[in-house]
A and B are shown apart, each in its own frame.
Chain A
């Protein structure tokens, strides 16, 4: 019995990222002073939560064989919407502002789903375009960083505990994960993977492929919205460009987490572990006292190696199992 479990683990797409995450966690714990302390670990968690949300959302889109390049821009849009609404001109409460912010995210998600699922425009190009739509809207709403959110919320996010056991920031990961797996347990969850494997065959089997893709993009955008709220818990203020670098990081983390770019493979947990790994390696790079000018390059190379490595690893695995399904 345990042999079968071991063999399943060995063949699972999440294995590499689990190994990498554990390896870098240990490395950081051993080499970075002050890393393996409760305060520092909590800080690590707080910082990685926004990316974690995005990867959970991205994983659903990638499973259907698509890609959402607009997630970073959605983060920016939700951020400036919430902060602006909470500002003196509008005076919304935190909850109301968050509600409107999430509606904005929903709007972008629907736009993506419509354009990719129903108008059948290439997902990469389409979300690249909607990225500009969202980012432009964000810049319009708030041309320069500023504004103050709720310090109470930041405090709650950064150092709060639920029932004394669960860190409040982790809620932003746990709740999306639960939702993801609830969805996975429905027929829709099976359809996601069918559409990602071969949209034509899924269609011929009676699956409403357009609706499936729409929902995936809506979910991705909503998760980006949630991630933006989490980010607010970290930084407290508004910034129209705050999320732009998250798009690439989210895509890389998701792919490293075993979610195939081609679709039909991987899950949210793997993607989340990918986000954990990504942040761990950023810590490693920062901790290596690299000059500030080399950090971007290092990050970029990590992303490149991660995606190239995972893609090659998968191809190697596929060659071991021959596939005759046409």
Chain B
């Protein structure tokens, strides 16, 4: 039996894949800014760019979280990301109850609770075999209900100043939240690339059977991915409450919907095994830009949501298709 030889030019294909991961999103960002500029003059000013980058940090962290679950493969998607973010955003001030010294406990508590939710997501998916979209969809309702119960609808407690500092400028107009988000991106990316468990996530996501045959504990790896996703979402909620200075029920839930296409545009492969935090950040910027653009264009709320849904459909069409039935 014959096999095909390597064809020349594969390396250039390789190079452009990496460039494609960053160039295409950057191109979209520039395009969106240009469109925004044509709608309202102040859109592409340095100040506004800074604002938009800052605002996109929240969606960015949601995207990082989502990336973990998608990376682990088997068409995993976590629809509870936004709800966990909201939960954490409301839980932390409630635990603090005005005492800044209680912040460490509050942060740890919200992370632990989030990890438990992530654990149950993974359990439903891996142990019982419920599709991840369904399991996490249900979990989002449970998390929302939990948040409502826990806070009795009224998150009490002043938000500690150190959190509020996230919205303040660090240097040269760049706010602290942007710095923190970049740090989170770098740390998680390093985790994925350099640690054994992180690298295992890629292999498990690409080919579960081969990973098991290598001796990798697939179940543990998937559990880890779901739990890290939840923890990151919790962190995102903490950033959110600090940056926005207020906590409202379900304030972060809209991030769920956008975290998926943001990740996809950022180069995450929906079947798993391929993804990158920094380009995910770019994807988050694109969708934040899109949202703001639609607002700047004076489009009503409903139209915005309609367009976001359509954008997701287009992205799904371009990036994912099930196998054809006929060979």
Contact = CB atoms under 8 A, between A and B. Distances in A.
Given A140-B303, A300-B145, A121 B130 contact: no
Interface string B290-327: 00000000001111111111101100110011111110
A252 B141 CA distance: 12
A143 B304 CA distance: 12
Given A124-B133, A143-B300, A131 B322 contact: no
Interface residues of A, number: 51
A288 to B, nearest CB: 14
Interface stretch (B13-21, B146-154, B203-211, B234-242): B146-154
A136 B304 contact: yes
Contacts of B308: 132, 136
Given A121-B321, A136-B303, A307-B130, A293 B149 contact: yes
Nearest to A111: B313
A297 B151 CA distance: 12
A139 interface: yes
B325 A200 contact: yes
A216 B307 CA distance: 25
Interface in A284-314: 291, 293-301, 303-304, 307-308, 311-312
Contacts of A303: 138, 141-142
A7 interface: no
Given A136-B307, A300-B144, A304-B138, A129 B129 contact: no
Contacts of A119: 317, 321
A133 B145 contact: no
A36 interface: no
A108 to B, nearest CB: 11
A125 B133 contact: yes
* Interface size band for B: 35 or more
B149 A138 contact: no
A89 interface: no
Contact of A251 (B134, B143, B317): B134
Contacts, number: 148
B84 interface: no
B98 interface: no
Contacts of A121: 313, 316-317, 320-322
Contact of A203 (B129, B305, B325): B325
A129 B260 CA distance: 11
B128 interface: yes
A67 B134 contact: yes
A308 B138 CA distance: 10
Contact of B312 (A132, A294, A300, A307): A132
A16 to B, nearest CB: 16
Contacts of A203: 325-326
Interface in B152-179: 152-153
Contact of A293 (B75, B148, B303): B148
B145 A312 contact: no
Given A248-B138, A296-B148, A299-B141, A315 B130 contact: no
A271 B300 CA distance: 37
A307 B302 contact: no
A120 B134 contact: no
B309 A129 contact: yes
Interface string A121-159: 110111011111111111111010000000000000000
Contacts of B128: 308, 311-312, 315
Contact of A143 (B75, B134, B302, B317): B302
Interface in B65-113: 75, 77, 79
Contacts of B257: 128, 132
Contact of A297 (B129, B146, B301, B310): B146
A307 B138 contact: yes
B75 A296 contact: no
Contacts of A138: 302
Nearest to B301: A139
Nearest to B133: A124
B145 A296 contact: yes
A94 to B, nearest CB: 24
Nearest to A70: B309
Contact of A307 (B77, B134, B149): B134
Given A119-B317, A297-B145, A140 B306 contact: yes
B124 A308 contact: yes
17 contacts: A119-B321, A121-B316, A122-B320, A125-B77, A128-B312, A133-B306, A133-B309, A133-B310, A133-B313, A139-B301, A140-B301, A293-B149, A294-B145, A296-B144, A296-B149, A304-B138, A315-B129
Given A121-B322, A300-B146, 14 more contacts: A121-B313, A121-B321, A122-B75, A125-B77, A128-B133, A135-B305, A143-B300, A203-B325, A251-B134, A296-B148, A297-B149, A300-B143, A303-B138, A315-B128
Interface of B: 75, 77, 79, 124, 128-131, 133-134, 137-139, 141-146, 148-149, 152-153, 257, 260, 300-310, 312-313, 316-317, 320-326
Enumerate the 3 nearest inter-chain pairs by beta-carbon distance, A residue then B residue, closest first.
A132-B309, A136-B306, A139-B302
